[in-house]
């Protein structure tokens, strides 16, 4: 068994399929590294006859620590886990008996590693998230990754084994040791708890599905109901569908509800366990050329079921294509509900967090983002409810619409024990604050654009935001960059150390700004209308990945960052 903490740096792993830890013998090679996508964890086992692979999408989210574990059993089966949750399992071949040589790195993976443990047992009795007991008989090697020694040549370094066997590991010279004070396990945040027969939350209506849809949420069931409960229900005038989870079979399913009857579209069983957090999702996409709909269901970022539907399938069995097709082309889905129950199902009782609805099916995005929080400005995002706080039964949508959800009296906020995604309350190395307003301002011709053609300047509406960055000790992190995003294309007027520059900013794209000595940055944008974008900012490379949002209110008054 291999266990370690990984924090992948923003921007990917430097390429696909990069090794992180390798164990090499004369008859077997075991490699734990990144997959085709930089956020995916990939276990590769090579034997003289075959090469086996086991992938876990989204297991290495950018800029936050994740504990990963690869378990290889004597019968050839293997399991990948992240933050204690099993995310992939399959046969990968039997590891040979030849001595193994450990290697750390060796490719272009960029990120931080900590607390690497290797055990000779699939489930060691003394396994801990902290440094292991060094006298444990099953401990094959332990690398705190706190020191390096020069290797046999300038192209190598040696990582000491702190265990009793002294199996020092060899790695590439590009790796260095650095100290950090960020907590590794930063989840366990707040969530909304649904309890009682009337517990549900109504969301704002959504529009512009345009033939595609994705919905997802973190759930933790607390009831012993025989039937699965509703997680997200989208109920239009002509089409209705729901994502359901739980029940005695631990099911995750996408269902349609024509004429008040619940019909399964695709489902998988044995996945949901009582009092354990699970990420569940469903995507639906209409192919106009083929006149088919492909529906998929996901658990922990991995696809677990799929179905392809057409008008012909409705003629051969219960209607599934028609209700989904109608929903995907609704001008406005008026009833959007979290929790509750579908006809014939149980009512949702338990915890829920980070519910998101997208206007694109994009199955690959489900895998990439299941362990990450939404920034709020991602392309095709319709709604994102963090569900970590609530005021008078109202909780916010951080998506581009800035809508709201309203919960019944039997829905409450729980401040600890949330899902293993980045906590919004954990202590951070940096704080980003902000305020914004919409003003009318005289700009010189070089900044005002076309209205000032042939003139000295012109009056323009300007979205004016001030961002302030401070470190935990009260200082200013001038050695860092501030990552800023807007949710639609704008012309930015960025002021740094008294110099104003005009540049085009694309929607949902990160821009890095230098943090001045004062810690305050002024970002202004030419506003084409009273409706302003939401600006989101975070310190680049800081753990957690949750940015501060900043936008003026509709009354044009200054608005504090949420």
According to DSSP, the β-strands at 350-358 and 191-194 are antiparallel
- Nearest-CA neighbor of 142 among 151, 155, 152, 133? 133
Record the pTM: 0.75
Cα angle 441, 444, 449 (rounded to 5 degrees) comes to 90
Structure token pair of residue 120: 């000779």
Whether the per-residue pLDDT at 477 is higher than 90: the answer is: no
* CA 126 – CA 163 distance, rounded (Å): 14
What is the fold, at CATH topology level, of the domain defined by 191-414? Jelly Rolls (2.60.120)
Domain with CATH 2.60.40 in the chain: 430-560
User: What residues contact 289, with CB distance under 8 A and at least 6 apart?
Assistant: none
Whether the per-residue pLDDT at 505 is higher than 80: the answer is: yes
Residue 12: per-residue pLDDT: 47
Residue 342: per-residue pLDDT: 95
For residue range 372-399, what is the model confidence (pLDDT) as tens digits? 888 888 889 999 999 988 999 999 998 8
Residue 177: per-residue pLDDT: 58
Residue 185: per-residue pLDDT: 52
Whether the per-residue pLDDT at 354 is higher than 90: the answer is: yes
- Average per-residue pLDDT in the chain? 84
Whether the per-residue pLDDT at 102 is higher than 60: the answer is: yes
Greatest mean pLDDT range, 311-320, 348-357, 375-384: 348-357
Report the pLDDT averaged over residues 125-146. Answer: 83
Burial of residue 153, with CB atoms counted within 10 A of its CB: 0-12 exposed, 13-18 middle, 19 or more buried: exposed
- The three-state secondary structure class of 358 is strand
Structure token pair of residue 15: 């390429």
For residue range 174-195, what is the model confidence (pLDDT) as tens digits? 555 555 444 455 555 789 999 9
Residue 428: per-residue pLDDT: 61
Report the pLDDT averaged over residues 206-211. Answer: 89
* CA 475 – CA 170 distance, rounded (Å): 38
* pLDDT more than 70, % of the chain: 86
* pLDDT more than 90, % of the chain: 44
Residue bearing tokens 């992939």: 88
- Nearest-CA neighbor of 167 among 131, 135, 142, 130? 142
Higher-scoring residue by pLDDT: 504, 354:
354
Residue 276: per-residue pLDDT: 92
Asked whether 94 and 74 are in contact (CB, 8 A), the reply is yes
DSSP state of 137: T
Domain with CATH 2.60.120.200 in the chain: 191-414
* CA 215 – CA 281 distance, rounded (Å): 6
Whether the per-residue pLDDT at 455 is higher than 80: the answer is: no
Structure token pair of residue 213: 């849809």
Residue 281: per-residue pLDDT: 97
Phi first, then psi, for residue 56 (nearest 5°) are -130, 100
- Nearest-CA neighbor of 236 among 256, 215, 253? 256
Cα angle 130, 133, 134 (rounded to 5 degrees) comes to 120
- The three-state secondary structure class of 119 is strand
Asked whether 434 and 550 are in contact (CB, 8 A), the reply is yes
Asked whether 523 and 494 are in contact (CB, 8 A), the reply is yes
What is the fold, at CATH topology level, of the domain defined by 2-172? Jelly Rolls (2.60.120)
Whether the per-residue pLDDT at 162 is higher than 60: the answer is: yes
Residue 557: per-residue pLDDT: 29
DSSP string, 179-221: ---S-S------EEEE-STT-EEEEPPEE--TTEEEEEEEEEE
Asked whether 550 and 534 are in contact (CB, 8 A), the reply is yes
Residue 547: per-residue pLDDT: 59
Report the pLDDT averaged over residues 509-533. Answer: 79
pLDDT band at 549 (very low <50, low <70, confident <90, very high): low
Residue 551: per-residue pLDDT: 59
Q: Which of 324-328, 424-428, 430-434, 453-457 has the lowest mean pLDDT?
A: 424-428
Cα dist from 132 to 113, 164, 524, whole Å: 16, 12, 52
The CATH code for residues 430-560 is: 2.60.40
- Nearest-CA neighbor of 210 among 330, 90, 109, 115? 330
CB atoms within 10 A of CB 481: 16
Whether the per-residue pLDDT at 513 is higher than 50: the answer is: yes
Structure token pair of residue 429: 């190395």
Whether the per-residue pLDDT at 556 is higher than 70: the answer is: no
- The three-state secondary structure class of 323 is helix
Report the pLDDT averaged over residues 232-255. Answer: 96
Whether the per-residue pLDDT at 446 is higher than 60: the answer is: yes
For residue range 266-315, what is the model confidence (pLDDT) as tens digits? 999 999 999 999 999 999 999 999 999 999 999 999 999 999 999 988 88
Residue 554: per-residue pLDDT: 38
Residue 77: per-residue pLDDT: 95
């Amino acid at each position: 068994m291999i266990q370690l903490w990984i924090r992948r740096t923003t921007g990917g792993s430097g390429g696909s399929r990069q090794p992180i830890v390798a164990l090499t013998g004369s008859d077997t090679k075991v490699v734990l590294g990144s997959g085709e996508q930089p956020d995916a964890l990939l276990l590769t086992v090579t034997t003289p006859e075959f090469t086996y692979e086991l992938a876990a999408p989204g297991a290495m989210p950018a800029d936050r620590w994740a504990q990963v574990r690869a378990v290889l059993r004597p019968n050839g089966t293997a399991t990948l886990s992240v933050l204690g949750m099993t995310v992939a399992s399959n046969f990968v071949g039997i590891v040979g008996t030849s001595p193994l040589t450990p290697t750390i790195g060796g490719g272009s993976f960029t990120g931080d590693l900590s607390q690497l443990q290797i055990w000779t047992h699939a489930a060691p009795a003394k396994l801990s998230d902290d440094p292991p007991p060094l006298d444990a008989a099953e401990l094959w090697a332990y690398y705190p990754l706190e020191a390096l020694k020069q290797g046999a040549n300038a192209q190598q370094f040696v990582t000491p084994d702190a265990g009793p066997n002294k199996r020092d590991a060899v790695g590439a010279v590009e790796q260095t040791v650095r100290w950090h004070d960020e907590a590794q396990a930063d989840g366990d945040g707040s969530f909304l708890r649904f309890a009682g027969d009337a517990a549900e939350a109504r969301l704002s209506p959504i529009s512009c599905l345009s033939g595609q849809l994705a919905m997802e949420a973190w759930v933790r069931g607390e009831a012993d109901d025989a039937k699965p409960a509703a997680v997200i229900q989208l109920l239009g005038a002509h089409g209705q569908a729901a994502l359901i989870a739980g029940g005695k079979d631990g099911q995750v399913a996408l269902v349609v509800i024509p004429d008040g009857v619940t019909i399964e579209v695709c489902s998988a069983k044995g996945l949901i366990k009582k009092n354990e957090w699970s990420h569940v999702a469903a995507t639906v996409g209409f192919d106009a050329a083929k006149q088919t709909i492909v529906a998929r269901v996901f658990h922990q970022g991995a696809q677990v079921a799929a179905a392809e539907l057409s008008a012909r399938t409705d003629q051969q069995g219960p209607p599934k294509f028609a209700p989904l097709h109608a929903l995907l082309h609704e001008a406005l889905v008026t009833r959007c509900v979290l929790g509750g129950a579908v006809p014939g199902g149980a009512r949702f009782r338990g915890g829920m967090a980070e519910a998101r609805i997208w206007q694109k099916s994009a199955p690959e995005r489900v895998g990439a983002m299941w362990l990450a929080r939404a920034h709020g400005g991602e392309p095709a995002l319709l709604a994102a409810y963090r569900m970590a706080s609530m005021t008078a039964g109202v909780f916010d949508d951080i998506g581009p619409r800035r809508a709201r959800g309203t919960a019944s009296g039997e829905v409450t906020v729980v401040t600890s024990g949330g899902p293993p995604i980045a906590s919004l309350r954990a202590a951070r190395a940096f704080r980003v604050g902000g305020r914004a307003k919409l003003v009318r301002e005289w700009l010189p011709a070089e900044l005002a654009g076309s209205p000032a053609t042939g003139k000295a300047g012109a009056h323009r509406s300007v979205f004016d935001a001030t961002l302030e960055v401070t470190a935990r000790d009260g200082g200013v992190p001038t050695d860092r960059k501030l990552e800023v995003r807007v949710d639609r294309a704008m012309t930015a007027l960025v002021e740094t150390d008294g110099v104003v520059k005009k540049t085009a900013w694309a929607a949902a794209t990160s821009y890095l700004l230098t943090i001045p000595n004062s810690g305050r940055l002024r970002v202004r944008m030419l506003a084409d209308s009273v409706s302003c974008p939401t600006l989101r900012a975070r310190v680049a490379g800081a753990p957690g990945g949750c940015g501060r949002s900043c936008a003026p209110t509709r009354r044009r008054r200054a608005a504090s960052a949420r």
